[in-house]
Every structure is written in structure tokens, then in C-alpha cells.
Amino acid sequence: MSYQHSMICHTDGIRPLAPVKWRGLDGLMSVYWDAEGQAGAHAYYLSPDPRIVIFFNDVSPHIRMSNRESGFGQHDRPMTRAVYVPAGVPLWTKFTSWHRFSHLDLHLHQDRLMRFLTPSVGSSSARSVLRRPVEIQDVGPIEALAGLLVDEVANPSKHSVYAESLVGSIATALLDLPQQTGEQANGRLTQAQMNRLVSRLNARGDYRMSVGDMAATVGLSESWFATVFKQTTGKTPLQWQLSRRIELAQTLLVEGHLSLADIAAQLGFSDQAHLTKAFRQTVGETPAAWRRMQLTL
């Protein structure tokens, strides 16, 4: 399904030198411009969705940009070769001298970017990444990818998935994605991630979290989290969670004065029978037998 962007754009002193080339894709819009701006030309852009701009020549000596309408002279900076503008962030530009330029605009539906990034970095990290603007001058391989995309936009010759994969590669090369730690690269959670997870679990009254919530807590996708979690602890997330609840039940059985039914309710078990079954499977004894044994030691 193609995507129609709805960016607000006001320009003065900027004109295209050739017909605009564009192509609508699944949640994406690719637009190629060849244009010129006069000295003093200016523009304003605001989009409800994220946007990537890649220039095919150096515009930094000729174009200034600011996120404030009255920012020029105090809060402006040179326009860089590649820019990521988060959703809802306004951008003003101003030409300090005449300049001919060409650039690729990528308008991306935020949900489409979330679907693309989440399996690799997790929904929490993806949302954080999409809120951070990026401005780089050294575009490196991004320019080559953008050139391939412009060729496909101008003369479509392949399935749309090819163009969409190019957009995905450009986005991942440009966005400020978190670096994998050595532990994650080797398929293990870091101690800091485990500490966050334990703290979050302990803060819940019933000591229960979904696998999705656990993954979001440490900033990973659910599928990747499940894999590295088992390699880190030797248990699935739900097995580990159950073992911690049983450990807490043991503490309450020995140190507290709660009934077994009260302990079951406090730790999120459906009833006393559910706790007894889970306890026996984990410990090898019923809660009552285990408590009697502890009291005789």
C-alpha cells in the first residue's frame, strides 16, 4: 500500500530545475529534487511523520538551518549532507548565497519505521531512536544507497521491495541506533540489563510481567530478548519469573505469618492449589511439607 505524506511546506526563492521524480511505497514516499535557491531564499517544513533528506552535493556553505523561526543569527547551523528530522519537529532553512542542489526526500510513516526497527532493537529503543534528530556531513555509503534509490525512483525496474529495502538501509545507516554491547553480541544480557529487569519485576505487586514488557524494559525485541535471556539465565523468561515467585513464596513461608492462600494471592497465583502445584514442580515438595522441614532444621 502506497503512502501519501502530508508535510506543510512554504518556500520563497527556491525553484525546481527539472520535473520532480517520486515514488510511493509501503509506508514510504521517495522524492528526488533538482533545484536552485537564490541568495536570501528561505523555507519552512513541518511533517507529522519522520523525514530524511540527503543532499548529493555539499550545501553547508550556502544553506543554514534552524528549528526556531527567529533562530537565524543565534541558533542556526550549516545544513549537512544528510538530515533526519523527527516527526513534528519544525525546520527553517535560509540560503546565504545562490546554489544549485539536488536531494532525496524520504517521507516515512512513523508506524512503518517502528515495524522496521522493533524486531532488531526493541520497541522502547525504536521509539527513543525516532525522537532523536540526526545531522551528518560525512554521508559515506548513504550517498551510494541514495543514488541507487534515485535510479529506481526515476526508472522503476524492480519489485517495490527493492526500493523499500534501500530506504531501510539508508534509515539504519543514518539513525542513531544503539550499539550492541559485547554481551549482546555474544547472545547474553548485560548485568545492567538484568538489574533493570529485577528492579522492574520487584516493583510490581504480583511479581509478574509479560515477555513483551520484559523485553521493552531492557530495550530489545521480544524474539531476540527470549533468545539471549535463556542463554544468560538458562531459563525462559517465564520459567525465570516463576522461579523468583517461588523463592519469594519460600521467604514468606518461613519469615511471615501469611496463610498459603494469602501468599498465593500476593504472588499472582490464581489460588492456593495453583501455588501448591507450581511449588511442588519447582522445589519437589508441597509448600506445607517444605515449611515443616525448614522449621525442624
Query: What average pLDDT does this structure show over 187-201?
Result: 79
* pLDDT of 226 higher than 90: no
Distance of CA 270 to the CA centre of its chain: 35
Residues 198 and 249 in one domain: yes
Domain termination residue (choose one: 153, 174, 195): 174
Residue 1: predicted pLDDT? 45
**Could you tell me if 134 and 52 lie in one domain?**
yes
pLDDT at 18: 94
Q: Which of 86, 39, 48, 41 is nearest to 67 (CA)?
A: 86
| Cβ pair 219, 121 in contact under 8 A | yes
Q: Are 66 and 77 in contact (CB under 8 A)?
A: yes
- pTM exceeds 0.85: no
Q: How many residues does the chain have?
A: 297
pLDDT band at 257 (very low <50, low <70, confident <90, very high): confident
Confirm whether 191 is domain-assigned: yes
> Are residues 196 and 284 both part of a single domain?
yes
Q: Do 53 and 162 reside in the same domain of the chain?
A: yes
Give residue 2's pLDDT band: very low, low, confident or very high (50, 70, 90).
Answer: low
Same structural domain, 132 and 194: no
| Residues 102 and 220 reside in one and the same domain | no
Structural domain contains residue 43: yes
pLDDT digits (tens, 9 = 90+) for 46-87: 999 999 999 999 999 999 999 988 878 877 899 999 999 999
- 2: in domain: no
What are the backbone dihedrals phi and psi of residue 196, each rounded to the nearest 5 degrees, phi first? -60, -40
> Mean pLDDT across the stretch 134-146?
91
Same domain membership, residue 110 and residue 204: no
Q: What is the CATH number of the domain that holds 247?
A: 1.10.10.60
Q: Is residue 1 part of a domain?
A: no
Enclosing domain of residue 144: 8-174
Q: What is the mean pLDDT of residues 126-135?
A: 88
Same domain? 129 vs 214:
no
The answer on 225 and 158 residing in a single domain is no
Domain count, the chain: 2
The answer on 236 and 160 residing in a single domain is no
Torsion of CA 137, 143, 145, 151, to 10 degrees: 140
Q: In angstroms, rounded to a whole number, what is the distance separating the alpha carbons of residues 146 and 166?
A: 8
CATH number at residue 122: 2.60.120.10
One domain for residues 132 and 239 = no
Q: What are 258-278's pLDDT values in tens digits?
A: 888 988 888 888 889 999 999
